[in-house]
Amino acid sequence: MNRNHSILINSVLLAVISFAFWSCKDDENAVANRNWKLVWSDDFNGVAGQSPDAANWTYDLGTGNNGWGNQELQYYTDRPENIALDGVGNLAITARRESFGGSGFTSARIKTQGLFDQAYGRFEARIKLPWGPGIWPAFWMLGNDINDVSWPQCGEIDIMEYRGQQPNLVHGTVHGPGYSGGAAITKSFGFTDNRFDVDFHVFAIEWGADYVDYYVDNTLYQRITPEDVPGEWVYDHPFFIILNVAVGGNFVGFPTSQTPFPQTMLVDYVKVYKEAN
């Protein structure tokens, strides 16, 4: 083989390898650099003690009769002691150890049901989490057809769940028919040298017709597709948003003597985007 022929072949191979590399990179960039358009948000600006905007949020109240299906211990209220703006741009959801409505703890859970829902797009919140065994904060979504088809047929997307006894770890999960509860599809994201209760972090999903991508800050750590679920893919219709702090329950167990109260989750903002094109 002459030298010029060898150079030509090497050049072609380099071009092919470079094309393959940049094609993969372009695919990743196409996901990461979508042209998002903000369509809904709440920045929680207002005076301290003010309730969250009633145009954006409504409440789940009480005990859900059976601990909201998870053996939770709290009584959800709409009192400012449990949920209010903090006056510096955050929503504070606070769990307290107190006797109220037959429960030993109080907290709050708000949702956009009946006010805002959306299929597909980017859903994100910037949150500083609490800490302590038995504390269960979450940023999550349910299908807007839940009153018609019930759970888990409506679908559930848990953008962020957190066990207070593991302050360096969060979880992203989907629940649907045939893969709910302990059989849900889930993955964890953790720090080796940081904790989610010492600073704010952005928790997000980017959701399309055949995928749900999970992010912490700028890190994509999980993609769930129809091939990953053992049952029906039910993420094809609008979902509404939920923020809450539960106390106890089958995911986190009981609070202990090491669990300080009150416990507060601070939410800087919630934002929802659609692809502009």
Pairing of strands 91-100, 156-161: unpaired
Helix, strand, coil tally for the chain in percent (to 5): 15, 40, 45
In total, how many domains does the chain have? 2
81 is annotated as an active-site residue: no
Domain hosting residue 2, numbered range:
1-33
In this structure, are 20 and 91 located in the same domain? no
Do 20 and 52 reside in the same domain of the chain? Answer: no
pLDDT on residue 18 = 37
Give the list of residues 6+ apart from residue 195 with CB closer than 8 angstroms, or none: 131, 167, 168
8/122 same-domain check: no
128 and 180, same domain (yes or no): yes
Model confidence at 22, pLDDT cuts 50, 70, 90, reads: very low
Question: In Å, how far from its chain's centre is CA 210?
Answer: 18
Calculate the alpha carbon distances from 188 to 121, 254, 276 in Å.
22, 21, 30
Stronger pLDDT, 162 or 16, i.e. the higher one: 162
For 213-220, what is the mean pLDDT?
A: 97
pLDDT for 152-202, tens place per residue? 999 999 999 999 999 999 999 999 999 999 999 999 999 999 999 999 999
Q: Kindly name the residue from 72, 124, 161, 206 that is annotated as catalytic.
A: 161
Q: What is the CATH number of the domain that holds 190?
A: 2.60.120.200
* Residue-level pLDDT at 23: 37
Same structural domain, 45 and 24: no
Same domain, 8 and 87: no
Residues 203 and 261 in one domain: yes
Asked if residue 26 and residue 75 are part of one domain, the reply reads: no
Calculate ∠ Cα 207-71-253, nearest 5°. Answer: 85
Which tens digits make up the pLDDT trace of 137-152? 999 999 999 999 999 9
Same domain? 244 vs 149 = yes
**Which residue in 156, 206, 232, 275 is the catalytic one?**
156
**Separation in Å, CA 13 to CA 3, 16, 21, 24, 174:** 15, 5, 12, 17, 43
Q: What is the mean pLDDT of residues 230-241?
A: 98
**113 and 77 within one domain:** yes
- pLDDT score for 32: 54
Kindly tell me if the per-residue pLDDT of 26 is higher than 90: no
Say if residues 260 and 133 touch (Cβ distance below 8 Å): no
Does residue 213 share a domain with residue 270?
yes
SS3 114: coil
Q: What confidence tens digit (pLDDT) does each residue in 47-66 have?
A: 999 999 999 999 999 999 88
Q: What does the block give as tokens for 38? A: 């903000």
* pLDDT tens digits for range 79-132: 999 999 999 999 999 999 999 999 999 999 999 999 999 999 999 999 999 999
* Structure-block tokens of residue 149: 């088809």
- Residue 243: is its pLDDT beyond 70? yes
Assess whether 45 and 129 both reside in one domain. Answer: yes
Instruction: Report whether pLDDT(30) > 50.
Output: no
